[in-house]
Structure 1
Amino acid sequence: KKPLFGREGGIKMDKWLQNTNVVKVLALALGILLWTVVRMAQSPISGPVSTTTPQPDKILGVPITTIYDANKYYLRAVTPSEVMIKLKGSSYLINAIKPDSYKIVLDLSNEKSGSHQGLPLKAEGFPKGVTVEISPAAVDVVLEELQKKELPIDISVNGTPAKGYKAGQPVATPSRVFVTAPSSQIDKMASVKGEIDVTGAKGKVSKLVKLAIYDKNGKEVEGQLSSLAAEVEVPITLPFKSVPLRMKTIGQPPAGYSVAVLTPNIDHVTIYGPQEVLDQIDFYNGVQVNLANLQADQNYELNIPLEANIEKVEPNQVSVQVKVVASAFKVFEKIPITIIGQNNDYSTAITNPQGGTVRVPIEAAPAILDKLKDQDIQAIVDVSNLPTGTHQLSAKLNLPQFVKAGKDSNAQVTVEISAKPAKAAYNNNNTSGNNVQDANNSSASPNTSSSPSPTGTTGSANP
C-alpha cells in the first residue's frame, strides 16, 4: 500500500492538481458550497419548527407620527396618543425590525381646523411579508388654526449701576415681535418681556436677551415668537437734567446801532453731574456773546463751557445769530428815583432833583423802543453805609436787555440822611428792663444794611 502522505503522497497530490479536470471539479464543488451558505443566510433552515408559519408579536406604546402644516395649524390633541401594534410574519423578519425603522402615521394634510373623529392610522417602514395590525386603528383629533399678533418688547432693568451712575431707558432691537398661538390662546397673550442686569456698570450695557410671552396677570404662557431674543442696550450715565440755556451778553454796539434780536439755535441743554449739584441748578449760564463794536448782523459758533462740578453738557456748542439795526431814540422825562440800602433808624430824603424823578434818554432798536414803558426803567441810588449828612450820588439805571442809556444821561442826586427822633416805650407792668428803647443804640452808622440791587443794564440818569 502506497502512503497517502509523505514524500510519495505529496508527489501524487501534485500530479492531481496538475490535472485540469481535477481543478475544475474542485472549483465547482467550492462554488456549490458557497452558494449553499449564502442561501442559508437568506432563508431559515427547515427544521422541527417551520419558520414559514406566521408568528404573532405585539409592541405596546407606539407613538403616533402626525403630518400637518405646523405653520398654519396647532395640534391640540390626539386621542389616544399611543397605540399597540401586532405583527405577523416570519420570526426572522420580525426580529430583524429595528425600532427606528418604522412608524405609525396620522396624515392630517387634508384636514381643516376643528374636532375630527375616527381618523385612520397607517403603518410605514415594515418589511414585506410582515402584516401589521394597529389597535386602535383610528384616533380622534382636535386641530386649531394658528393666529399671529404683534406685541412690543418690554425690557426690565435689574440691579444698580456703580455709585453715582444712572441707568437710562433700555433700547431693544427689534422693538416689536410677532407671537403665534392657537386661536383659543392668542387673546391671552399680553406682552413679551426680557430682563437685563446692570449691576456695577459704569458704561453702556449691551446683551442678547431671551424673550418670553406673558399674559395680563404676568404669568408666562407658551407660544411661538418671530424672534426668540433681542439685542438690548442700556445707557449708563451720570445723573442728568435738562435746563434752559441762558445767554449772557457783554459790551454794547457803538452809538447809533442797537441789537434787535439775539437768537440761539437751542434753548435747553442737558447737564450731567452729581445729583446734589443738579438739584441746585435751574438754568445754565456759561455762554457769553460779545456785542461790542457790532455795526452789522453777526453769527457766532460758541462752545458751551463746563460749570463747576458739571461733568458733561449736551450739546456742547450753540449757534447764535445777532441782528443789528440803526438805533431809535426817545427821552423818558419822569423816571422815579429808587433808594436802596436805607437804615430804618434814619431818615433818607432826596433834596435834588425836586419831585424825586430824573430825565432818561434811551437808545434801542425801533421795535424794542416802541414797546418800552416808564415802569421798564429804574433809576437807583444806593445809600448803603453812608453816615448822616448830605451826599451827592450818581443814579444807576437798570434797563431791559438791548436798551442803552443815551447821551447826557449822567444824573446827580442829592440825598440827605438824618437821625430819626428817639422813642421810648414804657410798660408799667413789665419790670424786666426791656420796656425802654434806647435811642443811643442808633448812634452808629445809619445805613449798615444793604439791599440787593436790581439786575439788568446799568447806567446813569440825567435829572
Structure 2
Amino acid sequence: MDKWMNNNNFNKVLAVALSIILWAMVHIDSAPTAQSTGHLESKIIENVPIQTTGVDEDKYVISKDANSVRMEVMGKSSDINFVFSDDYRVTLDLSKAKPGTSTIPLKYSLPRGVDLISITPREVHVHIEERNTKSFPVTVIAKGTPADGYRLGTPVVEPATVKVTLAASELAHVAKVQGTVEVNGENEAVTEKRMKLAAYDAKGNEIKDAVIEPASVSVEIPITLPYKSVPLRIGYTGSLPDSLVLSKVTPEVDSVVIYGQEAALASVASYEATLDLGSINRAGTSTIKADLKPPDGAQEIAPKSVNVTVVASEAAERTLRDIPVTLEGVRSGLSASIESPAERTISLTLIGASSLLDQLNKNNIKAVADLSGLGAGNHMVLLQISLPSFVELSNEQRPTVTVQLYSPASSAAPSATPASGTAASPEPSTEPVSGGGSVDGPAASPDNGNSEAPTPTASPATGETGEESLPGAE
C-alpha cells in the first residue's frame, strides 16, 4: 500500500477521479430542480364545501350567502392529481361572531406541495340568530277514502303535541305541524302507525329548516261503519214484590253508539235497554246488568252491556186534591164546559216511594180530557193522567169528567162559565198517561186507559236519560 501511495502517477489518477465524482454530484443535485420547475400545473376544484366552526348550532341558526367555494391551485402533477378532494379544506370560523349580520373571511388548508392561486368567494356574509322552541298540536291528514260504506273516526295521536325549534323570525310563520296517513280502501282501524311530521306556514308551504321533536309520532285512526249516538232509555220486564216500588234508576251511561248503514240508522232515535225487576226482592240499592243488542238492521252497538243502579223502596200512598182538568181537542166552532164534577177538579190517590210522594203537588200532575172528534152534546170523557216517574195511580182508578160541547150562539149554552179550547194547566213530566177518550161518544176508548204502569209496582222510565226520579229524591 505504501508503495502505491508513494507513486506520483497513481496520485494524479486518483485526484482526477475524485474531481470527476464531485462534478457529477453537483450536476446531479441541480438537474432535478430545473426539471421540476418546468413541470408545475394548475387545477380548478369546484364546490369545495365551507365548514362552519366555532358556534353552537343547537343554540343558534346560521345562514350564509355561500355554502361552497371554487379554488384554483398549482403544483406538481403528482401532487394535484393524486390527492383526495377532502384534503382541500375551507372553514368559516364563527368563534368571535355575535348574533346579527357580519362579513367573515374564509380560511383554507391545502395538501402538501400545492399552492393556492385563487379562491372564490374569499369571504361570506353570515346571519346568526338564536333558536326558539314552541309547542304545536299534531294534525293528521288521512289520504284516500276507506272501503265503501265505512267512515273515518277521530285520529288518536301519541304524543298529541310536539316541539318545533327555529329561528325566532321563522318560528312566527309556523301555522301547523302535520303528517299524512294512507287510508285508501281500509275497512279496519289503522293502528301502530308511525307518522313523519313536517311544519307548514299559513299558505301550506313546508318550512324545511324546522327541527321537530319528536320527528314522528304514533297514530291510530278508527275506521268503522257509519254510526249514530242515541239516548239510552230504560224499559222493564218482570215485577217487584207488591210491597216495593222503584224510586230511582240510574244507568252508568246516558247514550249508546249504534253502527250500521245509513238507511238503517235513519230510523233510530233512541235505544231501550230492558231491566228484569224480578231479580229485586228487597228494598235498597241494586246493580243490574243489561245486555245490549244491535237493533234490527244495525251491525254493532257500543257498549255491549250497561250496569244500571236501581233503588227500590217500600210503597207508600198519598191523595192529592184540586187537580185542574185541561180540555183539549175542541172542534172548531164549539165551546166546552165541564159539567161534572162541579168544582172542575179531581182528586187522585197515588202510590210510590214516600220520598217521591212527599215532593208532589198538583202542579206535578196533568189531567187532560181529549175532546177530539166529539160533537155537540154531553160526553163522559176518560181523563189522561200524566204522572212523574215511578208514581202511579192507586186501585186502578179511571177518573172521568162530564163535558158539554155546544155552539156559543146556541140558546142551550150553559149558564156556568164554559171551559173552551185548552185551559191552562201546569206542564207535567213526560210519563205515560192513564185513560183517555169519551166514554159515551164516538171517541170513547176505555181500552186505551193506562191507569196501571207496565209493571205492577212502578211507572216505567219514559226515555229520560240519567237518573229517573224527582229532584233530590233518594
TM-score by length of 1: 0.67
| Distance of 1:189 and 1:134 partners within structure 2 | 42
In structure 2, C-alpha distance between the alignment counterparts of 1:53 and 1:212, rounded to whole Å: 58
Residues 100 and 356 of structure 1: is their aligned pair in 2 closer, same or farther, counting only changes over 3 Å?
closer
**Aligned match for 2:186, one of 163, 187, 201:** 201
2:358 alignment partner, SS class: helix
The C-alpha deviation readout for 1:15-70, integer Å capped at 9, x for no partner, is xxxxxxxxxxxxxxxxxxxxxxxxxxxx9995796126672524243524313343
Rounded to whole Å, the distance in 2 between the matches of 1:395 and 1:169 is 51
Aligned length: 391
Name the CA distance, whole Å, in 2 between partners of 1:376 and 1:291: 29
Which digits, 9 at most, give the CA deviation of each residue in 1:204-249, with x for residues without a partner?
1244434322111222222233344433321111222222211123
Aligned residue for 2:246?
259
Bigger relative contact order, structure 1 or 2 (CA pairs below 8 A, ≥6 apart):
2
Matches within 5 A, 1:97-136: 97-124=83-110, 126-127=111-112, 129-135=113-119
Q: Does the alignment pair 1:312 with 2:296?
A: no
CA distance in structure 2 between the partners assigned to 1:375 and 1:458 by the alignment: 21
Give the aligned CA root-mean-square deviation in angstroms.
4.8
Q: Is the 8 A contact 2:338 2:404 kept in 1?
A: no
Give the alignment partner of residue 205 of structure 2, picking from 219, 232, 238: 219
Aligned: 1:93 with 2:79? yes
1:182 partnered with 2:167: yes
Matched, 1:364 2:352: yes
Write the mapping of 1:305-454 to structure 2, written as runs, cut at 5 A: 305-333=293-321, 360-374=348-362, 376-377=364-365, 399-407=387-395, 409=396, 447=442
Residue equivalent to 1:141? 125
Residue aligned with 1:184, SS: helix
Q: Which residue among 35, 41, 59 is the counterpart of 2:44?
A: 59
Conserved? CA contact 1:249–1:291, under 8 Å: no
Q: After superposition, give the CA deviation of every residue in 1:320-378 in whole Å (9 maximum; x if it has no partner).
A: 2222333332223566789999999xx99999988787653322212211222346556
Q: C-alpha distance in 2, partners of 1:403/1:236?
A: 45
Of 146, 158, 164, the match for 1:161 = 146
Match of 2:275 in 1: 288
Structure 1 residue runs without a partner (length 5+): 1-42, 424-444
Q: Deviations over 1:282-314 (max 9, x none)?
A: 322133341686431222122223222232222
**Matches of 2:403 and 2:169, distance apart in 1:** 94
SS in 2 for 1:276: helix
**Contact kept? 2:73, 2:114, Cα under 8 Å:** no
The answer on whether the counterparts of 1:340 and 1:451 sit within 8 Å (CA) in structure 2 is no
CA change 1:357–1:99 in 2 (3 A) is closer
> What secondary structure is seen at the aligned counterpart in 2 of 1:50?
helix
2:231 touches 2:271 (CA, 8 Å); kept in 1?
yes
d(CA) in 2 for partners of 1:414, 1:105: 106
Is residue 64–residue 125 contact of structure 2 (8 Å, CA) maintained in 1? yes
Q: Is the 8 A contact 2:91 2:107 kept in 1?
A: yes
Report the identity percentage: 28
Tell which deviates more after alignment, 370-379 or 148-157: 370-379
> For residues 383 and 294 of structure 1, do their structure 2 counterparts lie closer, same or farther at Cα, with a shift above 3 Å needed?
farther
- Give the gaps of 5 or more residues in structure 2: 1-27, 411-439, 457-474
The answer (yes or no) to whether the contact 2:273–2:291 under 8 Å persists in 1 is: no
Question: Is residue 385–residue 449 contact of structure 1 (8 Å, CA) maintained in 2?
Answer: no
1:77 equivalent in structure 2:
64
